Structures are given as structure tokens and as C-alpha cells.
Chains A and B, each alone.
Chain A
Amino acid sequence: MTLLGYRLPGMSSLIIWGLLWETVGQSGLTFFIPPLSEVVATLFSVIGTAAFQKALAETAYAFFVGVLSAICIGIPTGILMGKNRLLDELLLPWVNVFLSAPLTALVPVLMVLFGFGMRAIIITTTLFAIWIIILNARAGVKQINRSLVDMARSFGASPVDAFFKVYLWAALPEILGGIRIGIIRAVKGVIIGQLLISIVGFGALFELYAANFLMGHFWAVLIVLFALAFTISEVLAYLERRVSYYAAKR
């Protein structure tokens, strides 16, 4: 975007919102919004604390294990659904139901099934991420050029070769798109899991700060969380752009 002939760097709009936040905070309108400068100062003081690092480690662990399982289960399931009519008919209604279902409502059920520990949190995270990954992998396989499939067959590809050397790569742009959206949903999943199942990690920090009206701390942790999710999502978006040059050409 350009303003008065100057080219603005990306995300310049954040400056305006930051200024607005600072003004509202300084005016003392509500205890809920402390000045941004105070939040940032809190952020740096909080990051070094043991409590924060423990929360970060717990959250990161649940998040990565959850996302990894969603990817490892979701991609093959989606590809198989795209290739196999029967499996597709069987699973697609469920995938669609869970994609749009309010998963938060299911968390108590997960607690009954998997207990109150890390396992239930990880499964919650996986459940938030997996459905869109399945749907995107399925869509990616469905749009593979018919003649690429014929090519693999006519040159004698075994089913395993066709899967790893053709289908997976041909569906890669869609698969990466699914992973990116899945990861954004997993951030929600891991925090909801930590809040509802057992009060650990960032969920515990949110609970603690909110209960004690430490709004500076609350916002600081939220900013950290947002920054982490944003970074991961941007890295994946970059990868997507790297591979989509051929998606447009096929």
C-alpha cells in the first residue's frame, strides 16, 4: 500500500492500532486495557521467569505432538479418501461433521475417555487440526491431472510408488494449505485443552493472570502466543508459495 506517494512496509497498520491501544491504556478508561508500553515491559520481564518457560515448554510439547499426529494421520487418510470411493463415502460425512462441530463441547467427553493429563490435551489439539488437513489432502488428490495418473500407470508404477512419487507431490500445495489452517486451529485447541482439561501451560497462566486481574501479564502472554502462531503460519505460507509455482502450471 502507498500513502501520499510513500510505499508503506507490510503491517504498517499495526502502528495505528498500537497507538490507539496506548492512548486508551494511558487514559485509564478500563483496567482491562493497560497501556501497550506497560504490556511490552511486562512481556520482557515475564519471558525470563521459570513459570513462563515451563508454560511455554508444556504448551509447545502438547502443540507439536498434537499437530504432528494430526499431520501423520490426516494426510494419508485424506489421500486414501481421495483415491478410494468407498472410503470416501464412509468417512466424508464424519469429517464434515467434526470440521464444523463445536469441538469445545466435546472436551468433557475426552476428559472422561482419556483422563485429565497431557494425553487429553494432545488429543484435543489433534482433533482441532486434523479435519481440515484431511479435507485438503483429499481435495489435493482429487484435482490431480488425470493424465499424470495414467502416466504413472502406463510406466508401470506400483501403488506405493504412485503414492510417494506422484500423488503426494501433486497434492502438495493443497496439503500444505491444509496444514497451515490446521496449525492455526491447533493453537486454539491446545489453549482450550489447557484451560478445560487441566490447568497447565499457557492455559494456566491465562487462568492465573485473569483471576488476579493482572491484565498486563495477560496481554503479554497473549501477544507471545499470537506471535508464535503467526510465525509458524507465515513459514508455512512461504513454503506454500515455494511449491505453488508449479501448482499453477500443471
Chain B
Amino acid sequence: MPQTSAAETGTGATEDTAFEIAVSTRNISKNFGEVEALNDLSLEFPLGQLTSLLGPSGCGKTTLLKIIAGLLEPTSGEVEVNGQRVTGPGPDRAFVFQDFALLPWASVIRNVAFGLELRGVARSEREAVAESYIKQVGLAGFENAYPHELSGGMRQRVGLARALAVDAEVLLMDEPFSAVDEQTRRKFQEDLLELVQDQKKTFIFVTHSIEEAVYVSDQVAILLPRPSRVSEIIRPSSFRGKGVDNIRRDPEYLDIVDEIWASLRRYVE
């Protein structure tokens, strides 16, 4: 694996030009006081695909996601979503939070409909939309339950349904499965693959799990810290169409996981 800092190297890089780009970040730098979190980082996210941001802790992957979300302002550089420059949070992007960020005092249906409520959609209309997404994420029958009555995995399904309900073109997911147990996480990963196929949305997915990144992604961007940079972009090519059950024993899957670990291990103390 080449360890160059050029963003366009890596497996399958030649295909890159063929994709329509939904989100692009250009020369993003972000400083928190003296600390440099991101330095001159450029990345492109193809439309309708899932791109993972993978890297050791402290590499700025969540910072980059929050900049794309408009929750943080970059010190320099710019983000474009569908050709529009990002100046703050917008209806074209929806966020899925690591700790779910549900309203503890609101029922599942109100939580799922909350994005629409903030947009002023009438109650009956937004609840109808919410209901269909609750069904889609497999929580039918829990519409009137409260978050504290649900398991971690179910709570994240609520978070996911809320993000889907606003029908944004880009879904930003910040380590969405890291707070749920291993078995639930596997189910989530399978469901996510299906979701990426069904919904014509662009997914940007932050994770620290190498296996998870390779399993769910069309494109894995590996970020390295100090100075923060995109070290390579990997596009798994052969196993995506083989079905969820076969991915984990596909030779290419295993090779990519090994390669990524080989390049990341020296950044992990």
C-alpha cells in the first residue's frame, strides 16, 4: 500500500472520475485554539454511495463530519453539497448521532417526526411520514414508547428513522453503531447495506472499526493524525454484489482489512 498523502491513490482509484460527486470538501483546515484538528483536507463523496471515514482516534474524522453537517465552521476551506456551499446546517443533510440524541421526554413517533416538526409540517402529515419510517426501521408497534423503554439498538433505529424522515440527500452518521452490542451491530450493518441500495442517498459514515468500514462502504477514506490528512482511499470492488452473508469471507474483504490494519497499527499506542 502506498503511504502517499495524495487523495486519489488507492485501490480502484481510476474509477473515481466516473462518479457524480454529491459532497466535496476542499482544503479544509480546522484549529481548536492551538490544536490543529484538520489540515488542508480535500475529499469527494460520490452520489448514492457510502463513504467511510476511518482512522485512529484523534485523526479528526468526527470533526470533518461536523464541518460537513455545518455544526462546526472550518478555519479555512469550504464544503459543497450538490454544488451549494455549506454555511450551516441545512435540510439537505441529516445527522445520526453516536449517542442517539433522542428527546427523552418525547415518544418514539414525536422523536422521529421532530425534524419535520421543526420545519413546520402539520402534525397529522408528519406523523404519517414518521410512522412509515418507524415501520421501515423495524419498530412498528413502538410508536408510543419512550426512549428509556427501548434497548440501545432500538434507540439508534429511532435516530436513523428521524434522519430518514426529513428525506435529506446526504446522511451523516457519526459512529452510529459503536454504542450498541455486537450482534445488534452486525444486523445494523446488513440493514445499512440494504438502505444504501434502496435509498438514493449519499452516506458519510464515521467509524473506528476497520471491519465495519470495509463491510459497509463503497469507498473507505483513511485519515491519519498529526498532521491530519487523507492517507489513502480504498474502493472495494469485487464483493459488494455477493450478498451480505458472503462478504466476511471474501478474500478481497480480508485482504483490505489486513492492509488497513498494517497501515494504521503504528498510529495506535
Contacts and interface: CB of A to CB of B under 8 A. Distances in A.
A165 B119 CA distance: 13
Interface string A149-164: 0111111111001000
A155 B114 contact: yes
Interface string B107-148: 000000011011100000000000000000000000000111
B94 interface: yes
A165 B113 CA distance: 13
A147 B105 contact: no
A154 B104 contact: no
B105 A150 contact: no
Contacts of A172: 105
Contact of B95 (A150, A246, A250): A150
Nearest to B100: A147
A246 B148 contact: yes
Give the contact-size bracket for chain A: 20 to 34
A7 interface: no
A153 B71 contact: yes
A194 B81 CA distance: 65
A98 interface: no
A243 interface: yes
B89 A249 contact: no
A169 interface: yes
A172 B101 CA distance: 17
Given A145-B99, A147-B97, A155 B105 contact: no
Interface residues of B, number: 27
Contacts of B104: 246-247, 249-250
Contacts, number: 64
Contact of B103 (A153, A154, A166): A166
Contacts of A152: 118
B98 A154 contact: no
B251 interface: no
Nearest to B104: A246
B93 A246 contact: no
A94 interface: no
Nearest to B93: A154
Grouping DSSP codes into helix (H, G, I), strand (E, B) and loop, the B interface class, with mixed when no group exceeds half, is loop
Max chain A C-beta neighbours (<10 A), residue from B69, B99, B103, B119: B103
Max chain B C-beta neighbours (<10 A), residue from A150, A151, A246: A151
A156 B99 contact: no
B90 interface: yes
Grouping DSSP codes into helix (H, G, I), strand (E, B) and loop, the A interface class, with mixed when no group exceeds half, is helix
A107 B87 CA distance: 53
Interface in B33-72: 66, 69-71
A158 B118 CA distance: 8
A249 B106 CA distance: 13
A148 interface: yes
Contacts of A17: none
A154 B94 contact: yes
B97 A150 contact: yes
Contacts of B119: 156
Contacts of A166: 103
A155 B103 contact: no
B91 A156 contact: yes
Contact of B101 (A145, A157, A243): A145
Given A245-B148, A249-B148, A154 B105 contact: no
B166 interface: yes
B147 A156 contact: no
Contacts of B66: 150
B89 A153 contact: yes
A217 B45 CA distance: 81
A248 B195 CA distance: 33
5 closest cross-chain pairs (CB), A and B: A246-B104, A151-B101, A249-B148, A147-B101, A155-B115
26 contacts: A147-B99, A147-B101, A150-B66, A150-B69, A150-B97, A151-B95, A153-B89, A154-B69, A154-B71, A154-B89, A154-B93, A154-B95, A155-B162, A155-B166, A156-B89, A156-B90, A156-B118, A156-B119, A158-B118, A165-B114, A169-B103, A169-B105, A243-B105, A245-B148, A246-B104, A249-B148
